[in-house]
Amino acid sequence: MGTSTNAMLAYGYDLGSADGWKIREAGEFSEPILDWYDEDSDDGFIEQAEARLLAAHGLTGTWEDDGYYDRKEEAQARAGVEFDSYCHSEYPMWLLATKVITVHRGDSEVLDLPALMAETAENGWDDKLRQACEVLGITPKQERPGWVLVSYWG
């Protein structure tokens, strides 16, 4: 078994981590200050954020219910955004993104940057990210969505 060392290029926001959330709604000790966030929950911030986002896009029920995973996939498609981790498997940092391109160690990928920029506008990615931030009640510290290059080791 080896260690993954990947490059990731994502369109969206860098949200940081529990040691330093990159949102304006974080307190002195980086704790999220949001009416829907329960610091005593078994679920962490990202799990709670994803649940809130998917509920806003029609996801109902729990994993125990018939058809839950199909409904979850449909809600994810309607949201048009995803949370993805970077940095390290044991110390995840998070992105809120509309597109994530991962290049694994030893591979390369030639990117068509003009096509990626066109896809950004054609698919309304900025609007999807804005809507997700509104649903979550967060204001990323990053001025606007953009292409974020990060690494993953784990």
pLDDT in tens, 14-70: 999 999 999 999 999 999 999 999 999 999 999 999 999 999 999 998 889 999 999
89 located within any domain: yes
Domain coverage including residue 62: 5-106+133-153
97 located within any domain: yes
The residue-averaged pLDDT of 136-148 equals 97
42 located within any domain: yes
DSSP codes of every residue in 42-79? SS-HHHHHHHHHHHHTT--S-TTSTTHHHHHHHHHHHH
Q: Encode pLDDT of 102-124 as tens digits.
A: 999 999 999 999 999 999 999 99
55 located within any domain: yes
This prediction's pTM: 0.92
117 located within any domain: no
76 located within any domain: yes
145 located within any domain: yes
64 located within any domain: yes
Q: Which residue has the tokens 């967060």?
A: 138
Q: Encode pLDDT of 82-101 as tens digits.
A: 999 999 989 999 999 999 99
Q: How many domains does the chain have?
A: 1
DSSP codes of every residue in the chain? ----EEEEEEEEEEEEETTEE-BTTB-TTS-B--TT--TTSSS-HHHHHHHHHHHHTT--S-TTSTTHHHHHHHHHHHH--EEEEEEETTEEEEEEEEEEEEE-TT------HHHHHHHHHHTTHHHHHHHHHHHHT--BSSSS-EEEEEEEE-
